[in-house]
Amino acid sequence: MLVPSLNAVRAVISPDRELRRAIRNIFGFWPGNIYPYKLAFRHKSASREFIHGTKVSNERLEYLGDAVLSAVVADFLFKKYPSREEGFLTDMRAKLVSRAQLNKLSVKMGVEQLILASPDINNQARSMSGDAFEAFIGALYLDRGYHYARKVIIHRIINTHFDLEALENTEVNFKSRLIEWSQREKKAVAFKVVEEVGNGHGKQYVVEVRVDNEPVCSARDYSIKGAEKIAAEKVCSKLEIEKQHPAPVAIPVG
């Protein structure tokens, strides 16, 4: 006689059983601590709870998930392409974790349906789906640890939803697109390293993009070039620059 796991039992009796089952159906595992997942899908527009005077939303988890996702994808690509140069690996990682890509994945996998947001948000938050996807990765890391998160990201996300060969052949240069837009709109765009995190091989750079000297978006990566690319992609999404020149995305498998 098979004895059900504790997490499977929770999925039946827990008041959050619908969310637990949704995570099981989408990502293939039963969550343990459900709280970080509930937080991961709470957009700031739906934040009502306060801790030490701060509204609780998925923004902190998004920050954590971004770092975990970037590290896992970097490790995956490094091992998959042992003879390719740093520039190729940086470009591939940027394509895999781009905001447009994460938005598309969130919709395709059904993650978007789990997001709790204000009904007034409408289309004001174009990156809401991708943000929630990153926040989920942060929740997964807190619940199950890095190695389990790595397994889910590689087997349930990359191997299932990406055609890497097709992705290699797509050309997406968001930095050039942003600069072209700035010249066309007569805007001043600047990339600035605002923080360095860690030491040695694990060192990461935080790059901030400013438009007319106003901070718009920031991103972190293991190279300044990579952080600039990711930050530029975020700015293009936020300012809807990609609407004018749609960014190609990877061809989904299946």
Selecting from 3.40.109.10, 3.30.2270.10, 1.10.1300.10, 3.30.160.20, what CATH number does the domain 174-243 have? 3.30.160.20
| pLDDT digits 0-9 by tens, 54-87 | 567 788 899 899 999 999 999 999 999 999 988 7
Cα–Cα dist 94/100, whole Å: 11
pLDDT at 199: 82
Mean pLDDT of all residues in 178-184: 88
pLDDT at 126: 61
Compute how many other C-beta atoms are within 10 angstroms of the C-beta atom of residue 39.
22
Say yes or no to pLDDT of 171 above 80: no
| CATH 1.10.1520.10 residue spans of the chain | 6-168
Say yes or no to pLDDT of 207 above 90: yes
pLDDT at 223: 84
| pLDDT digits 0-9 by tens, 244-253 | 444 444 434 4
pLDDT at 174: 82
- Average per-residue pLDDT in the chain? 82
CA atoms within 13 A on the CB side of 98: 28
Give which of 224, 29, 223, 249 is closest to 130, Cα–Cα.
249
Cα–Cα dist 20/12, whole Å: 9
195 sits in the region (left: phi over 0; alpha: psi -120 to 50; else beta) called beta
Helix spans in the chain (H)? 6-13, 17-27, 35-40, 59-80, 86-96, 99-109, 128-144, 146-152, 159-161, 164-168, 174-185, 224-238
Q: What is the CATH number of domain 6-168?
A: 1.10.1520.10
Measured at the alpha carbon of residue 119, what is the angle toward residues 117 and 125, in degrees to the nearest 5? 60
Mean pLDDT of all residues in 124-144: 87
The residue with greater pLDDT, 162 or 49, is 162
| CATH 3.30.160.20 residue spans of the chain | 174-243
Say yes or no to pLDDT of 204 above 50: yes
| pLDDT digits 0-9 by tens, 83-115 | 998 878 888 888 888 877 888 899 999 998 998
Cα–Cα dist 135/39, whole Å: 8
Mean pLDDT of all residues in 155-178: 86
| pLDDT digits 0-9 by tens, 13-61 | 456 889 999 999 999 999 999 999 999 998 777 666 655 555 677 888 9
Residues annotated catalytic, as ranges: 66, 134
The residue with greater pLDDT, 178 or 50, is 178
